[in-house]
Structure 1
Amino acid sequence: MFKWLGNKRLFILLVGIIIFIALMGFTVGSRAGLSLPEKFTKDMVGFVQQVFYKPASYVSGFFEDIANLKRLQEENEELKTAVAQYKQDSVRYGNLAETNQRLQEDLKFTEEQKNRHNYTLRTAQVISVNSDPNNRVLNIDIGENAGIKEGMAVTSLDGLVGTISHVSNFTATVTLLTALDPSSSDANAIAATVVGKENNTFGMIEKYDPKTGYLQMTKISESSNIKVNDIIMSSGIIEGFPKYMIIGEVKDIEVSEYGLAQVAYIKPAANFTDWKEVFVVIPPEVTP
C-alpha cells in the first residue's frame, strides 16, 4: 500500500512537470492572446506597480514643483530688478549721449568720471515697517554682508524711497523720504533737479508734509524754469548720492517766504503704503 502511495506521488509530480513544460511551450510559441495565468500575473504586476508608482510620482512631482517655484521666484526677482534699473537708466540716457560726447572731448575726462553714475541695484526684502510719524523707517534683510553702507539710496520700482541710516551685519534700516524734516538732527536733504532742465534748475528736497502728502523742494532760484508737472530727480551733486533717481512730480510752485527763491511741492513717485521689496543703489567701485 505504501509503495502504491509513493508511485502515486511520483505520477502526480510527472504530470505536473509535463503540464508546466506544456505551458512554457504554449507561452513561448506564437499565439494571438495571453493565457489566464499570464493575464492574472500581468494584472497583479500592474496593480503592484500602480500602487508604488503613483505615490512615487507624486513625491517626485512635488519636489520638482518646489524646484520650479524657486526658479520662478529667482527669475521674478531678476525681472523686478531689471525694471527698476530700466526706469533709472531711461532718465539717465535721456541726456547722457549729449553729455558723454562733450566730456569725451575733454582731455581731463577720466575713467572715474565715466563710471561715476554707473550704479547697480541690489534687491532687498522688507522685513518690518515702522509707521511712527516721528520715526518712519523700514528694515531690510541685507546689511554689511552684502556691501550695504550708510547713506546709500534706496528705491522702489516707482521712485526714490529713502536712504540707508543704520547697518548691521545682516540687516539695514532705511529712513524714508516721508521722515524728512529740517528741524530734525537726522534729516538729510537731497539735492534735486528737473528732468530735461538739469543745467538751470536746482533745489533741495528738505521736508515732507504729512497733511498734503507732498515733499517740499526749496532753494530754487527765481530764474529757474521749473513748472507744474515737471519730473524731479536727484541731481547727484552730493558726494555718494546717485543721480537720475526719480523723486516725484511738481504739483504746485510758490515764492518762498522772503521772496528770494521758489518752493515746489512734489508728489512722491514712490508708494509709501505697500512694502514688499526695495532696491539699494550700489555705487561703482572707484579705483584709486
Structure 2
Amino acid sequence: MFKLLGNKKIVVLLISLIVFVALMGLTMMRTGMTTPEKMIKDTVAWTQGLFYRPAQSIAGFFKDIRDLRDLYEENRVLKATLSNYAKDTMKLNKLESENKNLKELLEFTERQKSLDNYKYHVAQVLSISPDPYNGRININLGSRDGIKENMAVISVEGLVGRVDTVSELSASVQLLTELDATNNESKAISATVKGKERSFGIIQSYDPATQNLIMTNIEQTDELEVGDTIITSGMGLVFPKGIEIGTVVAKEDGDFGINYVAQVKPVATFRHLSELLVVEVPDAQDTEIN
C-alpha cells in the first residue's frame, strides 16, 4: 500500500517536471507575447501611469516646497551677510577717517613742538548745535582732563574758538562764528600778520553775510595787505601766539577814516567738526585774563 503511494508521488513529480521543462522550452522558442499577455501588460502599464503621474506631481510639489524653503534660508543668510558687510564697511570707513584725522593731528603737533611749548589735548566733538546762529559745540574733555575756560580750541587748519564752560567730563566751545562786538561775553582776539609782527588788530566780530571775521583797530601806517595770513598775537592772553586765523580778503577805511577795517576769511571750517585740539600753555593759563 505505502509502496504504491510512494510510486504515485514519484510519477507525479516526474510528470510535473516534464511539463515545467516543456513550458520553459515553449516560452524560449516563442518570439512574441500572446494577446492575453499584451492586454494584461497594457492594463498594468495604464494603471501604473494612472497612479504615477499624481504621485510624481505630489513629489514635485513637496520638492518645490523644499527648494523654496532652501531658497528662503539662503536669502536670509545672504541678507544677514550683506547687513554685516554694510556694518563692517561703515566701521572701516569711520576708522579710516578717524585714523586720517588723528595722523593729521599728530603731524600738526609734531610741527608745533619746534615752534612753541604748548600742550595739545585731542578732543572728540560730541555735538554741534543745529542752529546756525548758535556757534557752540561740546567736546568730550573736561576739568578732569585739565581743560579750563578760555583755552584756545583749534583744528589742523587753524583757530576754531575757545573753551567757554567746563564740567568734569565735557566742555562747551564758543566758535569764532559767535564773536560779536556788542556782546560782552564774546572775547576779542588780538591778532597780527604772519611775517609782519609789527602789524596789529583786533578780531571782535563775525559777519554771517560774508562769512568773514572783522578785524578792526588797524592803524593807517600798518603794513597789512590783502592776501596776508592773520595769526594770534598772544597779547590778549586768551589765545596763545602764532595760531592761524585766516586770510585778509578786503581792507577798507573804518569809522571816520582814522583806522582800517579788514575782512578775514577763516582758514578753519566750522561744520563737520570731528577731532579738535585744546591748547594748553603751561606757563600762561593761570595768568589773569586782561
**Fold match by TM threshold 0.5:** yes
Following superposition, the deviation at residue 87 of structure 1 comes to 5.9
After superposition, the Cα gap between the structure-2 partners of 1:140 and 1:263, relative to the gap in structure 1 and judged at 3 Å, is same
1:279 and 2:277 correspond: yes
Structure 1, residues 125-148: CA drift from partner, whole Å, max 9, x if none?
A: 001001424421010001001100
Q: 5+ unaligned residues in a row in structure 1: which ranges?
A: 1-64, 93-116
SS in 2 for 1:223: coil
CA–CA distance in structure 2, aligned partners of residues 259 and 89 of structure 1? 42
Aligned residues of 1:77 and 1:123 also touching (Cα < 8 A): no
- Rounded to whole Å, the distance in 1 between the matches of 2:97 and 2:217 is 44
Is the partner of 1:201 in helix, strand or coil?
A: strand
Larger CA Rg, structure 1 vs 2? 2
> 1:204 corresponds to which residue?
202
In the TM superposition, residue 118 of structure 1 has moved relative to its aligned partner by 1.5
The equivalent residue for 1:79 is 103
1:82 counterpart letter in structure 2: L
Q: Give the alignment of 1:1-288 within 5 angstroms.
A: 78-86=102-110, 88=112, 92=115, 117-198=116-197, 200-285=198-283
Residue pair 2:124, 2:276 contacting (<8 A) in 1 also:
yes
State the shift of 1:284 in Å: 2.0
Provide the residue aligned with 1:110 in structure 2: none
* Residue aligned with 1:225, SS: coil
Say if 1:83 and 1:157, in contact at 8 Å, map to a contact too: no
Q: Name the stretch that deviates more: 75-84 or 179-188.
A: 75-84
Measured at CA, do residues 244 and 267 of structure 1 come closer, stay the same or move farther in structure 2, by a change above 3 Å? same
Q: CA deviation at 1:89?
A: 6.1
Contact 1:143 1:170 in 2 (8 A): yes
Shift of 1:154: 0.3
Query: Relative to 1, partners in 2 of residues 1:204 and 1:239: Cα closer, same or farther, differing over 3 Å?
Result: same
CA offset at residue 248 of structure 1? 0.3
User: Distance in 1 between the 2:101 and 2:237 partners?
Assistant: 29
Residue type at the aligned position of 2:260: Q
**Higher mean displacement: 252-261 or 130-139:** 130-139
Tell me how far 1:73 sits from its aligned partner: 9.0
Distance 1:285 1:78 in 2: 26
Note if contact 1:217-1:264 (Cα within 8 Å) is conserved in structure 2: yes
Distance 1:75 1:209, change over 3 A: closer
Shift of 1:186: 1.5
Change (3 A) 1:201 1:86: farther
User: Mind listing any 5+ residue stretches in structure 2 that lack a counterpart?
Assistant: 1-87
Partner residue of 2:65? none
Q: Which residue of 2 aligns with 1:15?
A: none
1:29-82 Cα distance to aligned partner (Å, 9 max, x none): xxxxxxxxxxxxxxxxxxxxxxxxxxxxxxxxxxxx9xxx9x989975652322
Q: What TM-score do the two structures reach when normalised by structure 2?
A: 0.62
1:102 corresponding residue in structure 2: none
The number of aligned residues is: 195
Matched AA of 1:212: T
- Say whether the 8 Å CA contact 2:101–2:275 is kept in structure 1: no
Q: TM-score, normalised by structure 1?
A: 0.62
Rounded to whole Å, the distance in 2 between the matches of 1:261 and 1:218 is: 8
Q: Secondary structure in 2 aligned to 1:83?
A: helix
Kept in 2: contact 1:81–1:121 (CA 8 A): no
Q: Partners in 2 of 1:78 and 1:164 — Cα distance?
A: 21
What letter matches 1:85 in structure 2? T
